[in-house]
Structure 1
Amino acid sequence: MVGKFERRKDTVQELTESAATHVGKIATIIAGAVRDVTREIGDWVSDGIEMREAAKKAREDEGEGETVD
C-alpha cells in the first residue's frame, strides 16, 4: 500500500514533468515564430532595397536619353 506522502510526491513529480514538457513545447513554438517573423522582415527590407535600386536605375536610364545643350 502506498502512503499519503508517496502519493503526493508522485503527483508533484508528474505535474512537474508535465509542466516541463509543455513549457518546452511553448518555447519551441515561440522560437519558430520569432524565426519566421525575422525572416519576413528581412524579406520585406530586401524588397524595399530592390525597389529603391530599380527606381534609381530607371531615373538614370531616363537621363541617358536626354541631350544636354
Structure 2
Amino acid sequence: MNEYVNLYNQKQKDKSKRLPKFKILYKQILSDRESTSSVTEKFGTSEEVLETINSFLPSWINQFSSTRKRRN
C-alpha cells in the first residue's frame, strides 16, 4: 500500500494534498498466539486483484481526505 501512496504523492504538486505512509506493524511481545482477524480467500486471477485495489483506493483516499479536512 505504501507503494501506491508514494505514487499518488509523487503526482501531487500541492504538499497539503499528500497522504502519509502507513506505519509498519510489529507483533506485541506477549500477544496471544491465535489471531482473531479473518483470513480472506486467495484471488483467482490478476484481474480480481486489480479490481479489488481499484475499488478500495478511491474510497480510502476520499475517506482520508474528509478526515483530514475535519482536523483542519
Structure with the larger RCO, 1 or 2 (CA within 8 Å, 6+ apart): 2
Q: Which has the larger radius of gyration?
A: 1
- Same fold by TM-score greater than 0.5: no
Give TM-score, length-normalised by structure 1: 0.38
TM-score normalized by structure 2?
0.36
Give the number of the structure whose residues are more often helix, by fraction.
Answer: 1
